[in-house]
């Protein structure tokens, strides 16, 4: 059995799905490991280090022909550039990676038509025994960290309070909207840099976590909104209108706003309006971690930095890729743990009685088999043999 990692082709993507440290464990489990030449270079992992660990360096065509292909961005997570790779995949092949099947279900159907068995790592259930496979959490942690660093170098103030002979500098006020993994990491980093931090989340259950990091939890008189698995659930527009109204004063009082609110498979909710931005002090900064999903700020332009009402709005589209070395290490650990979960006696086994396997499996035997993806595609029950 051959498992291969290829060089990522999504614009700006510098991560790699396997790092050299991944190789010995995979070989011990019975896999032959192939790495496309140069796949890890942008993340700081040259070919010779993979070779030293026992991997084989191959061409892209060879890697794409492997029994199991692992990618950071597969199928719908790289729909434009990745289309060229799809044509080279073959029936019976297994592909594991970020796939965005709930946002781009058509790409999953295309994979099914190629006869590919596709696993989407976004869909790994958030249960205790799957924590070490949770790529969303590992990559969101890095995004939260990077977001605060971007804010700190952009803000025309320093974060910490300082008392000097020339006078006292007051600390920056940072508001984090969304207290998931990215938000909690943003809170932690902003606090370590010396800022006064507040945080808001739809889910009242995260209040204790926010406070444990030394931040103030902003409470608004709104219905709590937590879906299965600990994610925020989508609400109706009236709810978001009321939320924006109540958040206006809090946003206006902040030097930095970091927004991280996202709902799986849907456009990010607009939480910061143009009017709210206009109420902020000149020089303030917004970092929209949800930019790739459309953004939480109405003025965000994904992948760009814009200045509106003298407020700088950053819309980074792939923050984890800005720290590709550590991001790849964490991603590779998630992938190899997931692969070990599927490997039995040196063979890849798809056991749909297992919750982790069942919930992350998107396509198999020429069909889209994931219930939610089938619903999005307007398909009925999958055919049975």
List the catalytic residues. 126, 131, 134, 137, 231
Q: How far apart are CA 54 and CA 52, in angstroms?
A: 6
Size (the chain), residues: 385
Exposed (0-12), middle (13-18) or buried (19+): which is 349, by Cβ within 10 Å?
Answer: exposed
Q: Where are the beta strands (DSSP E) in 242-384?
A: 256-259, 285-288, 305-308, 311-314, 343-344, 347-348, 361-364, 367-368
Query: Taking a C-beta distance cutoff of 8 angstroms, is the pair 267, 293 a contact?
Result: yes
What is the DSSP track for 281-296? PTT-EEEETTGGGT-S
**In contact, 181 and 137? CB cutoff 8 Å:** yes
* β-pairing verdict for 117-120 and 361-364: antiparallel
Q: Return the bridge partners of 58, or none.
A: 36
Q: Which residues contact 38 (CB under 8 A, 6 or more apart)?
A: 7, 47
Tokens for 381?
């029950």
Distance, in Å, from the CA atom of 55 to the CA atom of 162, rounded to the nearest integer, reads 52
């Amino acid at each position: 059995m051959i498992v291969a990692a290829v060089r990522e082709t999504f614009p700006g993507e510098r991560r790699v799905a396997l790092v050299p440290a991944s190789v010995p464990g995979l070989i011990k489990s019975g896999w032959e490991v192939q790495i496309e030449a140069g796949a890890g270079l942008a993340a700081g992992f040259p070919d010779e280090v993979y070779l030293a660990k026992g991997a084989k360096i191959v061409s892209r065509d060879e890697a794409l022909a492997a029994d199991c292909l692992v990618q950071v961005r597969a199928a719908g997570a790289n729909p434009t550039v990745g289309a060229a790779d799809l044509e080279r995949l073959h029936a019976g092949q297994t592909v594991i990676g970020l796939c965005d099947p709930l946002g781009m279900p058509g790409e999953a159907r295309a994979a099914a038509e190629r006869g590919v068995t596709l696993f989407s790592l976004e869909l790994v259930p958030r249960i205790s025994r799957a924590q070490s496979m949770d790529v969303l959490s590992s990559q969101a942690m890095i995004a939260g960290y990077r977001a605060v660093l971007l804010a700190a170098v952009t803000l025309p103030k320093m974060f910490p309070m300082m008392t000097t002979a020339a006078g006292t500098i007051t600390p920056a006020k940072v508001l984090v909207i969304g207290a998931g993994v990215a938000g909690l990491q943003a809170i932690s980093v902003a606090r370590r840099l010396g800022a006064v931090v507040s945080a808001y989340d739809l889910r009242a259950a995260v209040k204790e976590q926010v406070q444990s990091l030394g931040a103030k939890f902003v409470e608004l008189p709104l219905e709590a909104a937590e879906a299965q698995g600990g994610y925020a659930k989508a609400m109706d527009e009236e709810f978001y209108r009321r939320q924006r109204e109540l958040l206006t004063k809090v946003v206006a009082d902040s030097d930095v706003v970091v927004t991280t609110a996202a709902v799986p498979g849907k456009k990010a909710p607009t939480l910061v309006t143009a009017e709210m931005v206009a109420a902020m002090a000149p020089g303030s900064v917004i970092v929209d971690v949800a930019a790739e999903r459309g953004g939480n700020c109405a003025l965000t332009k994904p992948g760009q930095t814009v200045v509106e009402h003298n407020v700088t709005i950053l819309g980074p589209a792939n923050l984890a890729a800005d720290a590709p070395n550590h991001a790849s290490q964490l991603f590779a650990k998630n992938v190899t743990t997931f692969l070990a979960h599927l490997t039995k006696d040196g063979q890849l086994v798809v056991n749909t009685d297992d919750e982790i396997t069942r919930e992350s499996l998107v396509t198999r035997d020429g069909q889209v088999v994931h219930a939610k993806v089938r619903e999005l595609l307007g398909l009925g029950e999958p055919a049975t043999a």
